[in-house]
């Protein structure tokens, strides 16, 4: 039971005095924006709040409980609650924090598959034909913001995106090394990691076997070791 449960239940009691109190689940989530959602599922009220609200004063959370529950039950929201909530998220430090998390968490969706030297979509399509008979649905493809040597590529299931280090968007290393890294990430789509939201790299024996179908496998591996 979170501290917020009594707050939400009190508001619920106020709005629907004759209805039995529902089960309610409230959690804080690392959203890219200060957003909050509420929905009903199988008689339970599910509330997801931005983790930026974790430090909000009681008065603000009470206002938010009014806003969300009234939205859920289609009741008009008194201006006093909207104003109180807006005043809180309009505070300088909250605006600054929100801006920062948007940059950090929202970044992935911003960059394009077209780099200076290589187009990830064209490369994906080629590999798809070569190794998957063209059946693989194209995920979001994106160059990472930096030329990281540690994180050369990863598949992010949350965004259904393959992100490739900018280190490969250059004249060297040769294009087949980039293709090999992209092919590796495509195999993560082919053999999904079961843990949800995880970025861990899990490579089964089958995965490793498929990886070796890449013609220049040994040369590409050698290049990656040098990086």
User: Binding residues for Zn ion, per CB under 5 A?
Assistant: 201
| Shortest CB 114 distance to Zn ion, Å | 24
Minimum Å distance from CB 202 to Zn ion?
A: 7
Placement of tokens 């994906």 in the chain: 124
- Number of Cα atoms under 13 Å in the Cβ half of residue 100: 7
- Rounded least distance, CB 226 to Zn ion, Å: 19
The DSSP symbol for 166 reads G
Shorter beta-carbon distance to Zn ion: residue 28 or 217? 217
Pick 121 or 211: Cβ nearer Zn ion = 211
CB of 163 to Zn ion, least distance (A): 12
Exposure class string for 179-191: b at 16+ Cβ within 10 A, else e: bbbbbbbbbbbee
The packing angle between helices 175-190 and 120-132, to 10°, is 60
Distance between CA atoms of residues 26 and 146, nearest Å: 36
| Nearest distance in Å: CB 40, Zn ion | 39
Q: Residues near 42 by Cβ (< 8 Å), separated by ≥ 6?
A: none
Closest residue to Zn ion, based on beta-carbon distance = 201
Of 85 and 183, which CB lies nearer to Zn ion in the complex structure? 183
Nearer CB in complex with Zn ion: 170/201:
201
Number of Cβ within a 10 Å radius of residue 153: 21
CB of 91 to Zn ion, least distance (A): 42
Render 18-63 in DSSP notation, one character per residue. TSPPPEEEEEEE--SSS--EEEEETTEEEEEEEGGGGG--HHHHHH
Comparison of 29 and 191: residue with beta carbon closer to Zn ion? 191
% helix, strand, coil for the chain, step of 5: 50, 15, 35
Is 74 or 150 the residue whose CB approaches Zn ion more closely?
150
């Amino acid at each position: 039971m979170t501290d917020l449960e009594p707050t939400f239940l009190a508001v619920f009691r106020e709005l629907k005095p004759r209805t039995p109190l529902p089960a309610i689940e409230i959690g804080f989530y690392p959203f890219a924006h200060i957003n909050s959602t509420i929905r009903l599922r199988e008689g339970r009220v599910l509330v997801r709040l931005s983790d930026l609200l974790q430090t909000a004063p009681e008065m603000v959370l009470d206002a938010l409980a009014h806003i969300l529950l009234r939205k859920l039950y289609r009741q008009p929201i008194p201006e006093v609650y909207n104003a109180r909530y807006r005043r809180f998220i309009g505070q300088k430090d909250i605006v600054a924090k929100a801006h920062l998390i948007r940059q950090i968490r929202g970044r992935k969706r911003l960059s394009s598959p077209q780099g200076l030297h290589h187009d990830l979509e064209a490369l994906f399509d080629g590999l798809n034909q070569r190794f998957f008979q063209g059946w693989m649905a194209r995920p979001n493809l994106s160059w990472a913001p930096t030329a990281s040597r540690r994180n050369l590529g990863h598949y992010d299931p949350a965004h259904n995106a393959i992100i490739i280090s900018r280190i490969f968007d250059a004249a060297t290393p040769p294009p087949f090394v980039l293709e090999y890294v992209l092919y590796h990430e495509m195999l993560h789509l082919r053999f999904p990691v079961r843990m949800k939201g995880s970025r861990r790299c899990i490579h089964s024996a089958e995965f490793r076997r498929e990886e070796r179908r890449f013609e220049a496998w040994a040369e590409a591996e050698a290049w990656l070791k040098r990086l």
